[in-house]
Structure 1
């Protein structure tokens, strides 16, 4: 019976052009995401959220708990620190993080503002490393950014990455994730986005002028390998009052692109070591 259930799960929902997947694993992933989104959940709440029977919800929760991915406290299940360990392992394996970290630290110290290394995964931006500068504004939104994936079209770091991805890949990302608005300044039209990406390629870096948060600006530059393939981006963000005139249009772009050059040289040298 178990084998039959396994086979059904393995082929359920498959089409001729789609890879085989395990339905049970997909449900487990949905369970983890639901727990993360809500902070903690009980069996009944999870069953309602995912339209599962209580017995199925209970089995998934207990299985994830037994394998160390969830912990139970007072009848509610929460994300376990095992994910932190796995995440740190993945981050430290990234050359972009290893060779970008020193430049992020230095840039944050020089500018006093939030500085980020971002990479793209599954069409979203992932903050590999972020440092808060001494004079940057303290707020939950910025401090929690590493805990969430960003849409790429409304951040400077994301647009810097999109500008150097193949056009068909960008079209795929737009089709899959859309262009949701965060502010009145967010680009929500595909034609406008592709025009912006062309301008980014011409100048070599991207701007975010209140497109993610009103009154907040950022500058991001792509980090590429010798083949020209984009690996991620480096960005600095802060209030518009800090990023004004020459500082926004000349000083910071020059400093960021210099830091990117150092990262790229380190990546290239060590790839040939």
Structure 2
């Protein structure tokens, strides 16, 4: 286990690290946790039994899994965003109209967080999910958001987070990325051309306040093979931008 930074409590860090380990492992036993964190089995059992008694994990045939108690936290966190209530019906309609997967994203600490996703009848399942976090620089929703930040905040993102490569198509050069962001600003929408997942494209638009402040973004994901064959990019982009404008109106007057 890593040492705590000044002002941080190591036992709390350990507890959340164990929760993340259980989540990522899709279940873990006492021995698994003891080995993963280099602690005794009695210490591992103490952490797990405490979390289980509070309802945050459950014992399923000797393996602890994340409990439903976290649903309440997720609902509470999402309810803070007026954007969710305003965007959900529009996202549902857009997914039905396009037949593809539609997602709504907000940003916290320079990480994109999906607060809603919905799928049309021909949507392809990916690794993204509600509550999941994603990089901003390699997603259509993320680039839509970054494009409407002040320049100093965009530069802060580049300095603090960087442009890690996710696929061979990811833009990793800062100057080329700035050019990409400028294109998004000029066009009013962003494209992700296999930059996060090979074989998947996405198109997104920012959700703005009436004053031009960015609240989040909306996007539609489409397999590369369907672009041009059955999906008209220009038509899809206009549908997404229209949905973003409708959400802006709803957030303003709801």
TM-score w.r.t. structure 1 length?
Answer: 0.84
Structure 2 regions of 5+ residues with no counterpart? none
Q: Quick one: structure 1 residues 262 and 32, their matched pair in 2 at CA, closer, same or farther if it must change by over 3 Å?
A: same
Q: Quick one: structure 1 residues 58 and 133, their matched pair in 2 at CA, closer, same or farther if it must change by over 3 Å?
A: same
2:171 is matched with which residue: 187, 203, 206? 187
**1:2-40, CA deviations, whole angstroms, 9 ceiling, x for partnerless residues?**
xxxxxxxxxx631xxxxx332221111111111111111
1:112 matched residue in structure 2 = 99
Aligned residues: 251
1:98-177 maps to which residues of 2 (within 5 A)?
98-137=85-124, 139=125, 141-142=126-127, 144-146=128-130, 148-177=132-161
2:63 matched residue in structure 1 = 76
> Deviation of residue 93 (structure 1)?
3.4
Structure 1 regions of 5+ residues with no counterpart? 1-11, 15-19
2:5 matched residue in structure 1 = 13
RMSD of equivalent CA atoms = 2.2
Secondary structure of the residue that 2:218 maps to in structure 1? strand
1:36 corresponds to 2:28: no
Q: Whole-Å Cα distance in 1 between the matches of residues 150 and 10 of structure 2?
A: 32
> Deviation of residue 62 (structure 1)?
1.6
Contact 2:84–2:116 (8 Å) recurs in 1 = yes
Q: Quick one: structure 1 residues 190 and 50, their matched pair in 2 at CA, closer, same or farther if it must change by over 3 Å?
A: farther
Q: Whole-Å Cα distance in 1 between the matches of residues 220 and 114 of structure 2?
A: 12
**1:98-130, CA deviations, whole angstroms, 9 ceiling, x for partnerless residues?**
000111011111111111111112222111111
1:247 corresponds to 2:232: yes
Q: Whole-Å Cα distance in 1 between the matches of residues 44 and 153 of structure 2?
A: 36
Q: Whole-Å Cα distance in 1 between the matches of residues 246 and 51 of structure 2?
A: 42
2:215 matched residue in structure 1 = 231
> Deviation of residue 179 (structure 1)?
2.2
RCO greater where, 1 or 2, for CA within 8 Å and sep 6 or more? Answer: 2
> Deviation of residue 165 (structure 1)?
2.3
Q: Whole-Å Cα distance in 2 between the matches of residues 56 and 173 of structure 1?
A: 39
**Which structure has more helix as a fraction of its residues?**
1
Secondary structure of the residue that 2:226 maps to in structure 1? coil
Q: Quick one: structure 1 residues 165 and 47, their matched pair in 2 at CA, closer, same or farther if it must change by over 3 Å?
A: farther
1:201 matched residue in structure 2 = 185
Contact 2:102–2:218 (8 Å) recurs in 1 = yes
Q: Whole-Å Cα distance in 2 between the matches of residues 45 and 175 of structure 1?
A: 37
